Amino acid sequence: MGDKITKNNNNTLNVPDCPVIPFIEGDGIGPDIWKATQNVLDNAIKTAYLGKKKIDWLEVDAGEKGYERTGEWLPDKTLETIEDHVVAIKGPMTTPVGKGMRSLNVAIRQKLDLYACVRPVKYIDPVPSPMKNPEKVDMVIFRENTEDLYAGIEWESGAEETKKLISYLKENMGADIAPGSGIGIKPISPGNTKRLVISAVQYAVEQGYSSVTLMHKGNIMKFTEGAFCKWGYEAAKENFGDKTISEAELYDKYDGIQPQGKIVIKDRIADMLFQQVLLRPEEYGVIATPNLNGDYISDALAAQVGGLGMAPGANIGDTCAVFEATHGTAPKYTGLDKVNPSSLILSGAMMLDYMGWQEAANLVRNSIASAIRAGKVTYDLARQMPGTIEVKCSEFANAIVEKMK
């Protein structure tokens, strides 16, 4: 029986040699990719630490399986268990239409205040990519998780509440809104923006990235996304004044030559940044962004390195963190042992990094690359890589484990 991970006041973790880690298997393909992931993680830990460390996995209820067991899609007990154990991992989950909850994934983020959605995007050779030089892609998205349009503050077209709100906005605020409109509210606050940017800059400092880019649409939405940009610069200066310089300072004071030990804080308009990460990806490292922008660019960047099947992700707050597959449940492949488990496996590697078990995390990533180079891959990669052999999800996991030896 293992012990709980605990968190210190300075945000560092106390990780026992046998931590208890809650997991949500997930819906659809969830059971298949979770079984593969557990196989890879357990063997990486055993190999890296010669059996001196291991994880005691604790299943918690959520999604379709949770509903069958408890009658609830996301039981309070599950949230309490995750928060109590500090670190958790989950497969993809479906929120059935008309069941009252907008998204189980969003609900977990908001209820546990997991305000930073962290999505590293780095090419693994030789994964097929539409880019000419995918090896130049090495970015980490810090997406604000709790507000913006994803706060879910909206009213349906034709509803009485919507009519009242439109009437109020017209009469009291001078807003010109077309009849029959649906209305959504886009809150962006200084406190939530600054804590997100602080975590992004701290990550850049710890991982050696040379820049943090604030992605926004502030040229149009001046008091929300424009404010995000303004507050982001303030957060960097207030908390990392000795470690950061603005892009303006880079050229005004240093003639465009980045001083050693300094991180450049810059900002880019969202639509322009979508061009830049395609044309000049090497110029961008950590990107901090409001919720909706972050959703778009995370998936777009994942496409540059092989798709969501190769994209890990985490949702991190001050009290706990949940690591997750970044793709959906793919119900047509349920139970077929077919799909690529790499997204969840790589998210597990992120989890090991977060726990301070870097040796096991690096072993996972290196073994995935070695398994792909060996040419036995799941269908999504096999159809793009001539000469490879298509294998099942579980067989691919076994191939990864074999490479650890």
Q: Which residue has the tokens 């994964």?
A: 127
Distance CA 9, CA 277 (A): 37
**Is 34:72 a contact under the CB 8 Å cutoff?**
no
Q: Positive or negative, the Cα torsion across 346, 95, 196, 218?
A: positive
Q: Is 281 annotated as a binding residue?
A: no
Q: Is 102 annotated as a binding residue?
A: no
Q: Is 332 annotated as a binding residue?
A: yes
Q: How far is CA 27 from the centre of its chain?
A: 19
Q: Is 224 annotated as a binding residue?
A: no
Q: List active site positions.
A: 150, 217, 271, 295
Q: Is 94 annotated as a binding residue?
A: yes
- The tokens for 63 are 């999604």
340 class by beta-carbon count within 10 Å (0-12 exposed, 13-18 middle, 19+ buried): buried
Q: Is 330 annotated as a binding residue?
A: yes
Q: Is 123 annotated as a binding residue?
A: no
Q: Is 138 annotated as a binding residue?
A: no
Q: Is 327 annotated as a binding residue?
A: yes
Query: Which residues are 20's β-sheet partners?
Result: 56
- The tokens for 135 are 């090896």
Q: Is 203 annotated as a binding residue?
A: no
Q: Which residue has the tokens 């706060």?
A: 151
Helices (H), 14-101: 30-49, 63-70, 76-85
What is the number of H-type helices and E-type strands within the chain?
14, 17
Distance CA 377, CA 366 (A): 15
- The tokens for 154 are 């909206």
Q: Which residue has the tokens 């890296």?
A: 48
Q: Is 328 annotated as a binding residue?
A: yes
Q: Is 268 annotated as a binding residue?
A: no
Q: Is 331 annotated as a binding residue?
A: yes
Backbone torsions φ then ψ of 360, nearest 5 degrees: -70, -40
289 — alpha (psi -120 to 50), left (phi > 0) or beta? Answer: beta
Q: Which residues are annotated as a binding site for NADP(+)?
A: 94, 327-333, 340, 379, 383
Q: Which residues are annotated as a binding site for Mg(2+)?
A: 295
Q: Which residues are annotated as a binding site?
A: 94, 103, 105, 109, 119, 143, 295, 327-333, 340, 379, 383
Q: Which residues are annotated as a binding site for D-threo-isocitrate?
A: 103, 105, 109, 119, 143
